[in-house]
Chain A
Amino acid sequence: MGQIEWAMWANEQALASGLILITGGIVATAGHFTQWYFGAYSIVAGVFVCLLEYPRGKRKKGSTMERCGQKYMTAVVKLFGPLTRNYYIRAVLHLLLSVPAGFLLATILGTACLAIASGIYLLEMNSTHSQESVFLGSPLNPCSSVSPQTPACRNAWELLGGCRPRWAAVRGEQWTPIEPKPRERPHVGGTIKQPPSNPPPRPPAEARKKPSEEAEAAEGPSAGPQDNPIPVTDEIV
């Protein structure tokens, strides 16, 4: 039971619920049911939910697959700031949106699905908040004065034997947009430097003199053509 990111699942569910609401709403208004205005409301609510949930939020760890064309909606959703970033607000919003659609038979399915999505968002929020407050020591949490290792604060999954609670690793209970990484221009001229303007430093005067004297002395034996250690005669027969 590692670091499950419920928010991603809730996002998929909310998107699917939006589509179901739109379908149910179309059926209700086209079929001229009694109370067809609930159908019209359901279409509007469905479209709003779809647009809000279309941009997928960034995962905490690892790369996130973007939905195609989501960068336009990301820009719009980002504008609302904390209203769309916070998952609590999203959960409450979905719950409120789903209630009116429950009065009509055609859209009752959309209500149920959107309510489930809202529940999963709340689940994500509760799990991160309870663990965060343990470590940050918030006064609201009774566990705050006790260290996290005591049984009172342990996650229920621990009882299954051996697996440590990993909710603590899930930080950040908000929707972060997926930003395109700025392309780094390769600095072509970065390593190319100007040639040195000064000549290389000369060795000190003593070092300069000595090789020339040695060169004169060494020139003697090696000057001239090949010197044979054993005299060689050219025998002509």
Chain B
Amino acid sequence: MESVGGWHPGHALLQLFLCQMLGLYTGWNPVSSTSLNNTVSSSVCGSCELSCCQEFWRFLLGLCLSRASASVLNLNCSLILLPMCRTLLAYLRGSQKVPSRRTRRLLDKSRTFHITCGVTICIFSGVHVAAHLVNALNFSVNYSEDFVELNAARYRDEDPRKLLFTTVPGLTGVCMVVVLFLMITASTYAIRVSNYDIFWYTHNLFFVFYMLLMLHVSGGLLKYQTNLDTHSPGCINLNRTSSQNISLPEYFSEHFHEPFPEGFSKSEEFTQNTFVKICVEEPRFQANFPQTWLWISGPLCLYCAERLYRYIRSNKPVTIISVISHPSDVMEIRMVKENFKARPGQYIILHCPSVSALENHPFTLTMCPTETKATFGVHLKIVGDWTERFRDLLLPPPSQDSEILPFIQSRNYPKLYIDGPFGSPFEESLNYEVSLCVAGGIGVTPFASILNTLLDDWKPYKLRRLYFIWVCRDIQSFCWFADLLCVLHNKFWQENRPDYVNIQLYLSRTDGIQIIGEKYHILNSRLFIGRPRWKLLFDEIAKCNRGKTVGVFCCGPNSLSKTLHKLSNQNNSYGTRFEYNKESFS
């Protein structure tokens, strides 16, 4: 199914369907269920008929809406945690248990699914709050003296605001709304792009939200009757002094014109056979078991287990082997860690307490550990205060008055912790027969790890042809991986597979130097000035790979991503199918 702008319609539809089903089921269930129906009716309307009782319907509507929205909220609060179990998703992506590519592509949409659940929670919380405010009003106005246990209010006409703030469900509900408000206002796209810290710190309040949710449902507002057999709904209570106090024989003589065959001794038998029963004892109510605990305990435990596992795994610091400075503000760090395994295309999260105690930053691996070599590496672009401080700690700026050469200085690298590796859609590029990889600037990093893997050994993978297109603004940027590209090219020529990797480099800025370096003949001859013409490229690739499925991968600015996505979804006359795999960064 086509996805427009990252929003997969399939997910939204599925959500909507599930929500509606659950909502309808639980919301309208009270209407069909006789116990709640009759209890409410008898407490509100006495003996009047149901159909003309407006207040009854208002009561019921408030209760139905709040129960229906509560069910939807149960479902979403449990589902929203699952896409965030990143280690689990990385494991699923790499394991043999998920053979279908379609299923793996669903994993790419995990963040979008999380956002969908979040928005649904937001909407239905609004409905739930509104419905409960109406209920609070109704509970206080329609206080029932007949069924004292069923009342939420403690006395008639209790101020609904008191109900809100002094009961456990009310108070936890208010706190949850405040927490949700803080989380949602900090999760907008503008805040995530400009001040990621605010988003991250407020989003960690979700734990408080879940604890409050557990307390919220333990208030025991909804009750069910435990002695339905001895006190059925609508039964006549002989001991009451209400308007239903009619003596039994008169009642029967009014309604049944048949004479009693044997007098009053048969009256008890007779009552058992008729539809009207006599209440034997007072109704007893018990609070429903909170269903929410069942819904959210599973995913919450899973998520907590995963966080614990990640914490234990990342507790050991890595050993930094070397730090290399590249042109255009890029720094490469090579390190080793015991028992660290990663697939090409995955990313890790770096944490350096000397730079910042609370911040973590994700970086894609540019070199993965192999069987022969345990070193892995990342390339970082220095933009922002964290990376600047990190660079200052690792590569101290050369001081003019110092006569000591840099490599003689004792290497006191700060302690660095890594979390991961986590999966990304770029891992899939080795599983297509033909792949088109487009990189914009520093977005080349996931593809660098792919190229390093191919340099190591290309035969185990399904990939047979790779189109590698790298667009940069600055000519110096190509130096980051110029050596890798040249070595890879030479290797494939030696092995008589010259068409395996097709490299095209584009320099989008047309003024300035237009040669990478004198020793990089291979790259200079594949360097184009100006932006790529995507339509022509796609046509060429389609023509050369007729009838095949080409995987399209893009790591770069959003506009580039959108263009490629649009082109991938267009049909061509050669029967080639382009499958676009999207990565989202913010």
Chain B: CB-nearest residue to A62: B194
Stretch of B101-109, B177-185, B577-585 contacting A (4+ beta carbons < 8 Å): B177-185
Could you tell me if B178 and A112 are in contact, using CB atoms closer than 8 angstroms? yes
Q: Mark B334-359, 1 if CB is under 8 A from A, else 0.
A: 00000000000000000001111111
In the complex, what's the smallest C-beta–C-beta distance from A235 to chain B, in angstroms?
A: 52
Q: What does DSSP make chain B's interface, helix, strand, loop or mixed?
A: helix
Asked whether A163 and B358 contact (CB < 8 A) given A12-B185, A105-B137, the answer is yes
Distance A113 CA – B130 CA, assembled complex (angstroms):
16
Task: List residues of chain A with CB within 8 A of the CB of B188.
Answer: 12
Could you tell me if B130 and A27 are in contact, using CB atoms closer than 8 angstroms? yes
Distance A161 CA – B195 CA, assembled complex (angstroms):
22
Distance A16 CA – B188 CA, assembled complex (angstroms):
11
Which residues in window 357-401 of B have CB below 8 A to A? 357-359, 384-386
Distance A112 CA – B359 CA, assembled complex (angstroms):
30
Could you tell me if A161 and B357 are in contact, using CB atoms closer than 8 angstroms? yes
Which of B137, B354, B358 sits near A1, CB closer than 8 Å?
B358
In the complex, what's the smallest C-beta–C-beta distance from B9 to chain A, in angstroms?
A: 23
In the complex, what's the smallest C-beta–C-beta distance from B282 to chain A, in angstroms?
A: 33
Could you tell me if A163 and B357 are in contact, using CB atoms closer than 8 angstroms? yes
Q: Does any Cβ of A come within 8 Å of B68's Cβ?
A: no
In the complex, what's the smallest C-beta–C-beta distance from A226 to chain B, in angstroms?
A: 42
Distance A116 CA – B183 CA, assembled complex (angstroms):
13
Asked whether A16 and B353 contact (CB < 8 A) given A105-B164, A109-B129, the answer is no
Could you tell me if B358 and A6 are in contact, using CB atoms closer than 8 angstroms? no
Could you tell me if A59 and B184 are in contact, using CB atoms closer than 8 angstroms? no
Could you tell me if A160 and B357 are in contact, using CB atoms closer than 8 angstroms? yes
Q: Does any Cβ of B come within 8 Å of A138's Cβ?
A: no
Could you tell me if A4 and B198 are in contact, using CB atoms closer than 8 angstroms? yes
In the complex, what's the smallest C-beta–C-beta distance from A105 to chain B, in angstroms?
A: 5
Which residues in window 206-224 of A have CB below 8 A to B? none
Task: List residues of chain A with CB within 8 A of the CB of B193.
Answer: 65
Distance A108 CA – B132 CA, assembled complex (angstroms):
13
Chain B: CB-nearest residue to A5: B195
Task: List residues of chain B with CB within 8 A of the CB of A112.
Answer: 174, 177-178, 181
Asked whether A116 and B181 contact (CB < 8 A) given A1-B356, A161-B357, the answer is yes
Q: Does any Cβ of B come within 8 Å of A94's Cβ?
A: no
Q: Mark A96-116, 1 if CB is under 8 A from B, else 0.
A: 000000000110110011001
Could you tell me if B355 and A163 are in contact, using CB atoms closer than 8 angstroms? yes
Chain B: CB-nearest residue to A15: B185
In the complex, what's the smallest C-beta–C-beta distance from B78 to chain A, in angstroms?
A: 25
Chain A: CB-nearest residue to B187: A12
Q: Does any Cβ of B come within 8 Å of A118's Cβ?
A: no
Which residues in window 12-40 of A have CB below 8 A to B? 12-13, 16, 23, 27
Of residues B126, B129, B188, B195, which shows the largest number of chain A Cβ atoms within 10 Å of its Cβ? B195
Chain A: CB-nearest residue to B186: A9
Q: Mark B39-72, 1 if CB is under 8 A from A, else 0.
A: 0000000000000000000000000000000000
Q: Does any Cβ of A come within 8 Å of B405's Cβ?
A: no
Task: List residues of chain B with CB within 8 A of the CB of A3.
Answer: 385
Which of A16, A105, A163 sits near B184, CB closer than 8 Å?
A16
Could you tell me if B358 and A56 are in contact, using CB atoms closer than 8 angstroms? no
Q: Does any Cβ of A come within 8 Å of B539's Cβ?
A: no
Could you tell me if A2 and B198 are in contact, using CB atoms closer than 8 angstroms? no
Asked whether A8 and B195 contact (CB < 8 A) given A16-B181, A16-B184, the answer is yes
Asked whether A5 and B194 contact (CB < 8 A) given A105-B133, A105-B160, A109-B129, the answer is yes
Could you tell me if A8 and B355 are in contact, using CB atoms closer than 8 angstroms? no
Chain A: CB-nearest residue to B163: A105
Could you tell me if B185 and A13 are in contact, using CB atoms closer than 8 angstroms? yes
Could you tell me if B385 and A166 are in contact, using CB atoms closer than 8 angstroms? yes
Distance A109 CA – B193 CA, assembled complex (angstroms):
28
Distance A158 CA – B116 CA, assembled complex (angstroms):
38
Chain A: CB-nearest residue to B160: A105
Could you tell me if B185 and A161 are in contact, using CB atoms closer than 8 angstroms? no
Could you tell me if A163 and B385 are in contact, using CB atoms closer than 8 angstroms? no
Chain A: CB-nearest residue to B181: A113
Chain B: CB-nearest residue to A65: B190
Distance A161 CA – B355 CA, assembled complex (angstroms):
9
Task: List residues of chain A with CB within 8 A of the CB of B280.
Answer: none
Chain A: CB-nearest residue to B129: A109
Q: Does any Cβ of A come within 8 Å of B191's Cβ?
A: yes
Q: Does any Cβ of A come within 8 Å of B411's Cβ?
A: no
In the complex, what's the smallest C-beta–C-beta distance from A74 to chain B, in angstroms?
A: 16
Q: Does any Cβ of A come within 8 Å of B475's Cβ?
A: no
Could you tell me if A2 and B386 are in contact, using CB atoms closer than 8 angstroms? yes
Distance A109 CA – B384 CA, assembled complex (angstroms):
37
Q: Does any Cβ of A come within 8 Å of B73's Cβ?
A: no
Which residues in window 64-79 of A have CB below 8 A to B? 64-65
Task: List residues of chain B with CB within 8 A of the CB of A16.
Answer: 181, 184-185
Q: Mark A155-173, 1 if CB is under 8 A from B, else 0.
A: 0000011110010000000
Distance A64 CA – B193 CA, assembled complex (angstroms):
9
In the complex, what's the smallest C-beta–C-beta distance from A99 to chain B, in angstroms?
A: 15
Task: List residues of chain B with CB within 8 A of the CB of A2.
Answer: 197, 356, 359, 384-386
Q: Does any Cβ of A come within 8 Å of B136's Cβ?
A: yes
Distance A64 CA – B185 CA, assembled complex (angstroms):
17
Asked whether A160 and B178 contact (CB < 8 A) given A4-B198, A6-B198, the answer is no
Interface residues in chain B, defined as those with a beta carbon under 8 Å from any beta carbon in chain A? 126, 129-130, 133, 136-137, 160-161, 164, 174, 177-178, 181-182, 184-186, 188-191, 193-195, 197-198, 353-359, 384-386
20 A-B residue contacts at CB 8 Å? A1-B356, A1-B359, A4-B198, A8-B194, A12-B185, A16-B181, A56-B190, A59-B194, A62-B194, A64-B194, A105-B133, A105-B160, A105-B161, A105-B164, A108-B161, A108-B164, A109-B129, A112-B181, A162-B354, A162-B355
Interface residues in chain A, defined as those with a beta carbon under 8 Å from any beta carbon in chain B? 1-6, 8-9, 12-13, 16, 23, 27, 56, 59, 62, 64-65, 105-106, 108-109, 112-113, 116, 160-163, 166
Given A2-B384, A16-B184, A65-B194, 20 more A-B residue pairs with CB atoms under 8 Å apart are A1-B197, A2-B386, A4-B195, A4-B197, A8-B190, A12-B185, A12-B186, A13-B181, A13-B185, A16-B181, A16-B185, A27-B130, A59-B194, A65-B190, A65-B193, A105-B133, A105-B136, A162-B355, A163-B355, A166-B385
